[in-house]
């Protein structure tokens, strides 16, 4: 089975809508039930890819022909040839006193990345997952690290191959340069605290045009810009991946999730392995 890994770096706030409200948050983001990690459901990602495939190319022709779209993405009567996974979180930006923000990850997320890349055909992918103690961190020596209202003591350096593993998932060279200084590994339990409570909550409103008063006030949760996700594409039929990845050759961006009309949902897309692997 041919597979392809996509790196998805949030360029704007992201709102992949969840199913149920949580406390004061009327519109939470989609989360994994067991871990509370934010995610982009595969159905949303597939829909965004289909919408992109319908757009005209730079030459004015349709991006992917209708017959290929039906074959790749499927229709009501039959499944498509393209398999699209959920987009999984890898790095979460969190405010810090030491810099504008730190990119947080944890051993569980790194283990998932390792397993997913092995599933994508990289049998020799040998990232070593470091153990981290609670209330400690791995990263550059910032002394006591302040993240939001919490503080952490340094346990040691980042694993030697971690930065090299994450870099190919980041589209921009300038962004990759910041990674060694801003990447931090926390204990799984410490990380999930930030995943649960560290996302932005925004108030939105509908105004009465005549009276200039509020008709509806609601609160929605968003994933911050510079969050890094990744997803896997796989083929259940021939030539399903290449027509989709070709869409990013001229303009490597994809809009996913809600609030498109207010500029949310934009990802910079990178394909670390331009030649799909065979598992």
Three-state secondary structure of 82-146: EEECCEEEEEEEEEECCCCEEEEECHHHHHHHHHHHHHCCCCCCCCCCCCCCCCEEECCCCCCEE
Band (pLDDT 50/70/90 cuts) for residue 278 is very low
Pairing of strands 266-270, 253-255: antiparallel
Q: Is 229 a residue whose pLDDT tops 60?
A: yes
Q: Average pLDDT, stretch 220-246?
A: 94
- pLDDT category at 30 given cuts 50, 70, 90 is very high
Report whether pLDDT(212) > 70: no
Q: If pLDDT is split at 50, 70 and 90, which confidence band does 58 have?
A: low
pTM reported for the whole predicted model: 0.91
- Exposure string for 39-75, b = 16+ CB within 10 A, e = fewer: bbbeebbbebbbebbeeeeeeeeebbeeebbebbbbe
- Per-residue pLDDT, averaged over 136-157, amounts to 95
Q: What average pLDDT does range 95-113 have in this prediction?
A: 94
Cα–Cα distance, 235 to 81 (Å, whole number): 6
Band of residue 203 on the pLDDT scale cut at 50, 70, 90? confident
CA atoms within 13 A on the CB side of 98: 19
Please say if the pLDDT value at position 277 is more than 50.
no
Percent of the chain with pLDDT over 70: 90
Query: Of the candidates 3, 63, 44, 1, which has an alpha carbon nearest to the alpha carbon of residue 271?
Result: 3
What's the whole-number mean pLDDT along residues 123-137?
85
Rg of the chain on CA atoms, in Å: 20
* Residue 52 pLDDT > 90: yes
Dist. CA 89–CA 37, nearest whole Å = 7
**Tokens 């609160």 map to which residue?**
219
What pLDDT is recorded for position 21?
65
Q: Is 154 helix (H, G, I), strand (E, B) or coil?
A: strand
Between the ranges 81-90, 200-209, 241-250, where is the mean pLDDT highest?
81-90
Higher pLDDT, 164 or 202: 164
pLDDT at 57: 66
1 and 236 in contact (C-beta within 8 Å)?
yes
Mean pLDDT over each residue of the chain, to the nearest integer: 88
């Amino acid at each position: 089975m041919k597979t392809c890994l996509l790196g998805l770096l949030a360029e704007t706030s992201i709102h992949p809508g969840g199913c149920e409200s949580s406390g004061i948050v009327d519109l939470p983001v989609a989360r994994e039930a067991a871990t509370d990690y934010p995610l982009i459901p595969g159905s949303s990602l597939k829909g965004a890819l289909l919408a992109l495939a319908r757009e005209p190319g730079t030459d004015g022709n349709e991006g992917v022909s209708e017959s290929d779209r039906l074959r790749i993405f499927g229709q009501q009567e039959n499944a498509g040839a393209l398999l699209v996974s959920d987009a999984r979180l890898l790095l979460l930006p969190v405010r810090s006193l030491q810099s504008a923000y730190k990119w947080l990850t944890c051993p569980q997320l790194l283990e998932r990345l390792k397993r997913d890349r092995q599933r994508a055909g990289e049998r020799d992918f040998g990232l070593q997952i470091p153990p981290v103690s609670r209330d400690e961190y791995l990263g550059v020596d910032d002394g006591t690290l302040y993240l939001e209202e919490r503080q952490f003591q340094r346990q040691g350096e980042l694993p030697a191959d971690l930065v090299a593993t994450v870099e190919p998932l980041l589209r921009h060279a300038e962004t990759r340069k910041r990674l060694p200084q801003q990447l931090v590994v926390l204990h799984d339990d410490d990380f999930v605290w930030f995943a649960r409570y560290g996302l932005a909550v925004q108030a939105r409103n509908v105004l009465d045009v005549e009276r200039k008063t509020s008709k509806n006030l609601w609160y929605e949760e968003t994933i911050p810009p510079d969050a890094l996700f990744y997803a896997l594409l796989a083929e259940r039929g021939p030539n399903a991946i290449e027509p989709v990845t070709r869409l990013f050759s001229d303009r490597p961006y994809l809009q996913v999730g809600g609030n498109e009309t207010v500029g949310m949902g934009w990802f910079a897309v990178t394909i670390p392995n331009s030649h799909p692997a065979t598992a």
